[in-house]
Structure 1
Amino acid sequence: MPDDRTLVGAVLAGDKQAYAGLVDRYKNKLYGLFRKMGLSEADAQDLTQETLFKAYRKLASQRPEQSFAGWLYTIAVNLYRDRGRRKVPVPREETAEQAAPDRDAPEQRVLRAELRSELDALLDTLPEHYRLAMVLRYVGQLGHEEIAGMTGMTVSQVNNALHRAKKSLRRQITEKEGTRYEMAAEYRSRKSRV
């Protein structure tokens, strides 16, 4: 598959079908971004389509020195903000991109799904700007400079948001594990008394 720059050049040269390659490459990533930001399936699908449509209309304005992915995520983040959506917890489902390979044992798939669900729930507890920075960095695989450009934060604010988000997640995981350990110890204690 040609790289983003080649596909963008082909579309701008008149090959409208080349945009399908960009759509295929980014539709699941955008959908995943919107789901991680707390949107329902339907809203995430709508915003994904709206992002891809707006990017197509504005493709000529995309600067060649800027990465296409960064530019596309900027559009996505701005559309997300324009809608004025608030974080709404929704049940998480695996997308095609997130699905575990069939060669894994069923137990591994269940454990991976549980871990993903727990992590998504923990992400939902973060303030929106921390969650957005985390999702753009680790789901969108964008650099700190690109995230800063998209969110209006400085690079140091992005670094700070990522650091604080990770620290908060670590603290919550540690607390959760401590609670599980205490519950298990209490259960063993009761069982030995019976």
Structure 2
Amino acid sequence: MEDAEIIRLVLAGHHEQYAGLVQRYQEPLILFLRRILNSEEDSFDCAQEAFLAAYRNLNRYSKEYPFRAWLYAIARNKALDLMRKRHREVLSIPDETMVDQRPNPEEVVLAKEETALLSEVLHELPEQYGQALYLRYRQELSYKEIAMVLQVPVSSVKTYIHRGKEKLRQILERREIRGGKGQPIMEEIISR
């Protein structure tokens, strides 16, 4: 069932249908929040708060944007509020290979190394560049969706991604790891 149909049903009084949206977006939202908060517990709590806030404000949702982008924008704001409250600014990439189901141990090790390297390299980028690249290449959001999440114009998103890829390329060249085996994600990002 499409998001718009679920939202229509929830607004019509079938509140149990909202669970479908939670089930659909919970895992990717938590992964996105881990990147900002660097804490699984905080990410889970923030995701719950975002789902609750979205539910409470569902009547304000505009079909102009995809529900996913609207939800991510709410979650990002919750995360930034939490960070301000705790007076810390942390940006990290989660170890997404924990849920990896590939049986080949060598591939698992390479994927973990790549994720760690990507996390380390993205730490060197300005925050908005790292977030834009993460949302585009790991969460596969459109430019319009990223603009909504980051609360900037689409033109800024394009600039962030372009400049982020350029800085990423410079960092990789400086470290002499561009073109090496076992870094397909980074190669994919900088070659697009």
What TM-score do the two structures reach when normalised by structure 1? 0.79
Kindly report which structure 2 residues correspond to 1:74-113, keeping only aligned pairs within 5 A, or say none: 74-83=73-82, 84=84, 86-88=88-90, 92-94=94-96, 99-102=99-102, 104-113=103-112
1:188 is matched with none
1:146 is matched with 145
Q: Which amino acid aligns with 2:96?
A: E
Task: Please state how far the C-alpha of 1:48 moved relative to its aligned partner.
Answer: 0.9
2:40 is matched with 41
Kindly report which structure 2 residues correspond to 1:1-194, keeping only aligned pairs within 5 A, or say none: 2-83=1-82, 84=84, 86-88=88-90, 92-94=94-96, 99-102=99-102, 104-177=103-176
Q: What CA RMSD, in Å, does the superposition of the two structures yield over aligned residues?
A: 2.4
Unmatched 5+ residue regions in structure 2? 181-192
Unmatched 5+ residue regions in structure 1? 182-194
SS at match of 1:177: coil
Alignment check: 8 A CA contact 2:37 2:79 kept = no
Q: State how far apart, in whole Å, the 1-side matches of 2:133 and 2:177 are.
A: 25
Classify 1:81/1:90 alpha carbon distance in 2 versus 1 (closer, same or farther; 3 Å).
closer
Q: State how far apart, in whole Å, the 1-side matches of 2:134 and 2:59 are.
A: 27
Q: State how far apart, in whole Å, the 1-side matches of 2:26 and 2:156 are.
A: 28
Classify 1:89/1:66 alpha carbon distance in 2 versus 1 (closer, same or farther; 3 Å).
closer
Q: State how far apart, in whole Å, the 1-side matches of 2:42 and 2:143 are.
A: 27
Matched pairs, number:
176
Classify 1:146/1:91 alpha carbon distance in 2 versus 1 (closer, same or farther; 3 Å).
closer
**Whose radius of gyration is greater, 1 or 2?**
1
Q: Which amino acid aligns with 1:129?
A: Q
